[in-house]
Chain A
Amino acid sequence: MQRLLPRIITFVCGMFLAIQYFIPHKSSEKVYETSIDWLIIVGVFAIVLGILSLVTVNLEKIRRKSAGYRHAWVLLAGLVFMVVAGIVTGTGQDGLFLRLGYNAILNPITATMFALLAFYIASAAYRAFRARSVLATILLLSAIIVMLGRVPAGEVIPGIPWLTDWLINVPNMAAKRAITIGLGLGGSATALKIVLGIEAPHLR
């Protein structure tokens, strides 16, 4: 029963939501919206579990003084600071400390992380574009053409803009669509496996 009941619930909910997609009636829409609301409510409760997990893992790191345990102190201090700031000064525009936490600390840090992407792209491109085989050489040439076609200097070279558009709109688009079709079918098959209970890794 412990395994059967979750499978029955999965089957009923899965089938209903699959059929609901084809029913535009407002009753069907209402049930769908309610199920989404349930998901949000479950998510809110799960946040509590998530924070508990976060605190437990980091306290354990501090207790064992494992590698990087000082970072755990920073994390827990930040967590407590933001919670206290939100409760004491509010979460709106008047919440000075909360805004300070977001605008002066979190936003610059996340922006820095995102900015690092440019350097990671450069190093990955260097490895990917090494002409070690025929396919890698084709990749390198295609990349050079597309890069040239996307900068003002490349636009004045005859044929480059046309070739860039052709590479993006024909071979690249064909590959993307093939992958999309595969993903659509694979996703449907996976959903079907779970709805029918053929695949349930959490119920082994």
Chain B
Amino acid sequence: MTDRSNFRRQAPVRAVDPPRLFLLFAVHLVLAAVAVSARPASAQGSALVGIPDSSAVEAQNLRAIDTPNDRGESVNLSWEPAAIEAKDPAAVFGYVIERAESTDGPFREVGRVVAGTREFVEADSLRDGVAYFYRVRTERPGGVLSGVAAIAGPVISKGQLFDKRKTVTCIATVLFCLTVVWLIQHARRGKAMYIRPIPGLSAVDEAIGRATEMGRPILFVPGLGGSSDVATLAAFTLLGRVGLKTAEYQSSLIVPCYDPIVMTIAQEIVKSSYLGAGRPEMYRQDDVFFVTQDQFSYTAAVNGIMLRERPATNFYIGKFYAESLVLAETGNLAGSIQIAGTDEITQIPFFVAACDYTLIGEELYASSAYLSQEPPLLGTLKAQDYAKAVTVLVLILGVIAALLHHDWFVKLFLVE
């Protein structure tokens, strides 16, 4: 039997009180927010407060490829920025790049980049031939890290055997070499080749003859370049010719050197030239000597030689910098005939102003061919002329193509 009286003693069920319910809900909501914000950052994962969709804070479309045209041990990463960065740039502090050797990890940080960055070249102790996996996490202000949209990989780094960016240079070099070889053969068959007169080179023999007549020495300055500079190599070839003529005319030659290796080579060249002229007894090793490797000390020493020895002829052939005009002006004051040639474009005007003859541009490299008229050397000189003609033609075609908006032609010759 049911005791109904107990029912009557129970408190009556009250109707729903909206303000009370709302207050209760608000208190719960505040308590929940406080609880979530009190959790450590690492515990939050991709569930970020105020960001309902975690993909909005994650970098998208991560791509990892072996860096092209490189030495190896490098991987290129690219990604699209987190959506939140576009809406509010201040909401993203940067991106953290992590690497692992398997998709399961462990991932370790290999780099950090600031917000706005879309690419990263990873070369942090990478090993070629090993498969790597990458992920990028968005770093928000306060060091909060996002989750990961995707893992990129596997990517294997390796060094390339050909730099594709240099394809045009490679083709041009091969064509130029073939042209040189072909023209050398052509010249050897006895085909006459016209070489335009170069006053600076035509004056070499005359200048050496003048020194002989005056009984004064010839000064040959090979510049400040090292033995690996092409201008110094050109100086060596002209020095060989000057040495030969000096020995023939029984004049004397002074070669002050800036570089000890250049000095050693110059000594050998002058010695060979004297030997070639049949006068080895005239060669004195002390005529080709080392001065110093300090630019203006060298200049002062050479100036001193000019003013004391009063050479009849000065040759400035090789690499010259700020000392070019100081040397050339002193030689001018000393009353010497001066022939200069350098590949330093900024120094050419100084030589033009102060010297009697200046070898401009490729004339510097034409000395041996011009003076000896040997077929193989003339062949190389002619090849230079053909190459210049082709270059001018390509330049004209490039201008026309650019004017007609045929960009493909211009891009064909782009060298990165």
Contacts and interface: CB of A to CB of B under 8 A. Distances in A.
Contacts of B71: 24-26, 29
B28 to A, nearest CB: 63
A53 B291 CA distance: 9
A127 B352 CA distance: 11
A46 B268 CA distance: 14
A193 B388 contact: no
B218 interface: no
B263 interface: yes
Interface size of A as a range: 35 or more
A71 B299 CA distance: 15
Contacts of A178: 361
Nearest to B265: A202
A27 B71 CA distance: 8
Nearest to A111: B296
B308 A25 contact: no
Interface stretch (B12-20, B47-55, B374-382): B374-382
A46 B269 contact: no
A109 B354 contact: no
Contacts, number: 194
Contacts of B276: 204
Contacts of B169: 22
A189 B380 contact: yes
Given A120-B329, A186-B366, A193-B376, 5 more contacts: A26-B159, A42-B261, A50-B263, A50-B290, A193-B377
24 contacts: A22-B162, A23-B162, A23-B163, A24-B160, A24-B162, A26-B73, A47-B260, A50-B257, A51-B290, A53-B260, A57-B289, A110-B297, A114-B296, A120-B326, A121-B325, A124-B329, A178-B361, A185-B176, A186-B365, A187-B343, A191-B233, A193-B377, A198-B184, A199-B237
Interface of A: 18, 21-27, 29, 39, 42-43, 46-47, 49-51, 53-54, 56-57, 60, 67-68, 71, 106, 109-110, 113-114, 116-117, 120-121, 123-125, 127-128, 176, 178-183, 185-194, 198-199, 201-204
